[in-house]
Chain A
Amino acid sequence: MSAYYLQQLLNGLMLGSLYALIAIGFSMIYGIVRLINFAHGDLLMVGAFTTLGLASTGLLPWWAIALLVLVTGALSGITIERVAIRPMRGAPQVTGFIATLAVSVVIENGGLILLSGQPRTFLFPEIMRSRVTIGPASVAAVDLVIIGSTLLLCVLLLLFVRGTRMGRAMRALADNLLAARLMGIDVDRTIMAAFAIGSAFAAFAGLLWGGRFGQIDPLIGFAPGLKAFVACVIGGVGSIGGAVLGGYLLGLAEVMFVGMLPPIYSGYRDAFVFATLILVLLLMPNGLLGRPEEDRA
């Protein structure tokens, strides 16, 4: 494989990791409450600015910052659930979408008011920017950190969902919420946990996103959030494995689209992603790993 293709492959894996991290939360939340959380992408912004704020104090080591970002993300997710989603439970589905859309508007414009729309420079420590050579290609260390930490978080999540009581409760809720409640599962707590985990992942993606691209502003979460949803749909909404798979596929496809076609098309990058969404919905509405939803009376 030539250096160029290996380079593109690594870029695709890096981008795919970020999409996967965001998509996992979308999928967990959708799987349980059947709701697309439009505010989910904005947690990326929350994570990125939390990181920037903590790093600029210079007091904390990076592992502590990463931990605090995860906690902030989880708390934000819990807040969103309490303010905008729990009160709407039982209302028509559309009500829930509109509520999360409103939350997203509040977060984005609140960010613009409090943090101003000026993009800010975001610097990872020097060592992250050093180049690492892999065969014929060379990548920034941060790319490897992104891919590595994503895989680590995925494995941890898998162990959690398969092996703990709470994880089992989540799967039961996703299967059949009513039956799960009858079995004595605390529905409120489980939904809150799903929001906390999904949102923590999205905020962590924000830390990595800022570190990789070097500039952040209050609206950075919007586009990756939408694209992560596309990744979810490709993989099959509601399936965590599907979200990861879809994230990587979308990341690779997007990088290939930009890297392999003549440069005049690269302006169409975002259009390509959403055209893929519509195509996937047309051909395989349940995605790669999703289960068909039957109509229940």
Chain B
Amino acid sequence: MTAPPFLPGPKAALAMLGAAAVVAFADLYLSTYAVTLLSLVMLNVALAVSLQLTNGLTGLFSLGHPAFMTVGGYVAAILTYPVRRKGFMMPDLPDWLATAQWDLLPATLVGAAVAALLALVVGIAVLRLKGHYLAVATLGLIVIVRVVINNLDGYTRGGLGLSGVPRLTGPWEVLVFTLLTVGLVWRIKHASLGRAMMAMRENELAARCMGIDAFALKLLAFVLGAFLAGAAGALTVHLVSVITPGAYGIPLAFSLVVMVVVGGSGSITGAVLAAIAISLLSEFARPLEEGLELYGLSQVLVALGLILVLRLRPTGLFGSREPAGLGRPRFSGGTS
């Protein structure tokens, strides 16, 4: 094939239209609760797919998504916060920030860019080393971000969190973001870039011998994943209107990793389906937990399920593949 397929394949187009139809239906007929739930599920899809880029395709093991979401969320919230309440909530802001009240789109982009910058700094330090250091460094990053935000209370209100963030995000904004994220990762996966990433995941030494710049590629995957996570954090904050320093923490990092692994490392379809299933499951498990007063039960079940999946089907539901017919029929996408 010559021309790069910018358009999705027939089934993927159908899936996108279906998603849009679901959003339209929910927006018109369903309660605010259902619309918010739908939006959060879509955001989880975007998060899982962006982590798929970092962890699944490139084979890194980052747990840093919640840290990047927190950073993106706080930065964007400070930018969009109503000016008349800023003096009271965030007394230490410099003048140019205290008088600024931005729109959602520029605030999200700046929030995402700051998250990406943070990832760049951490990535340069850590990505030269073997993968497992990244896991602990990013786990540490979650702690660092939380501690710093807790202590910068003149900017962030510390542990109280920011409430009353304007509700600028609706389901349509989330849908567009999610589709863009999935589309971007899909394009990367099926381009030479993605194949280089997967080659590196399978055997770094061999990939480097073939002329792949492993460090640059890892850095790209890590920073891009952080950018998307930062944007998702910014959108989430403007959806639920609150953010606290510990809102996105290690449990979230764990669930996102579970989505990637259960879906199949490297499979975008897998991540999408796993994200939908696991987010809905934990939402519906919540009344059960409250009824039985066994808080944390769903986490235990998810973790046990994960261990089972790893033992019985170590490659997840889809492995690295995508079901046939989703893309153009020129490259099947497997690594085997």
Contact = CB atoms under 8 A, between A and B. Distances in A.
A83 B139 CA distance: 24
A278 B140 contact: yes
A59 B303 CA distance: 36
Nearest to A229: B136
A220 B65 CA distance: 23
Contacts of B147: 267-271
Interface size class of B (residues with CB under 8 A): 35 or more
Interface in A68-103: 83-84, 87-88, 91-95, 97-99, 101-103
Interface string B134-161: 0111011101100110110000000000
Given A105-B303, A230-B140, A113 B310 contact: no
Contacts of A273: 140
B126 interface: yes
Nearest to A266: B151
A102 B258 CA distance: 9
A84 B307 CA distance: 7
A277 B294 CA distance: 36
Interface of B: 55, 59, 61, 122, 125-126, 128-133, 135-137, 139-141, 143-144, 147-148, 150-151, 204-206, 250-251, 254, 257-258, 261, 265, 294-297, 299-300, 302-304, 306-307, 310-311, 314
A109 B296 contact: yes
B231 to A, nearest CB: 24
Interface of A: 35-36, 83-84, 87-88, 91-95, 97-99, 101-103, 105-106, 108-110, 112-113, 117, 222-223, 226, 229-230, 233, 267-271, 273-275, 277-279, 281-282, 285, 293, 295-297
**Could you tell me the dominant secondary structure of chain A's interface residues?**
helix
A275 B302 CA distance: 31
Contacts of B204: 295
Nearest to A83: B307
A295 B130 CA distance: 10
Contact of A268 (B148, B294, B300, B303): B148
Contacts of B125: 278-279, 281-282
B132 to A, nearest CB: 5
Contacts of A293: 130
Given A267-B147, A267-B150, A93 B314 contact: no
A92 B251 CA distance: 23
B61 A277 contact: no
Contacts, number: 129
B135 A274 contact: no
Nearest to A117: B295
Contacts of B294: 113
Given A94-B55, A95-B314, A277 B296 contact: no
Nearest to A295: B205
Given A94-B131, A112-B296, A278-B125, A226 B205 contact: no
28 contacts: A87-B310, A88-B311, A88-B314, A93-B131, A94-B265, A95-B310, A97-B135, A98-B257, A98-B306, A99-B306, A102-B310, A105-B300, A108-B296, A109-B303, A113-B295, A113-B297, A113-B300, A223-B143, A226-B136, A226-B140, A233-B136, A267-B147, A271-B143, A274-B140, A278-B137, A281-B126, A281-B137, A293-B130
Contacts of B139: 226
Contacts of B141: 274
Contacts of B122: 278
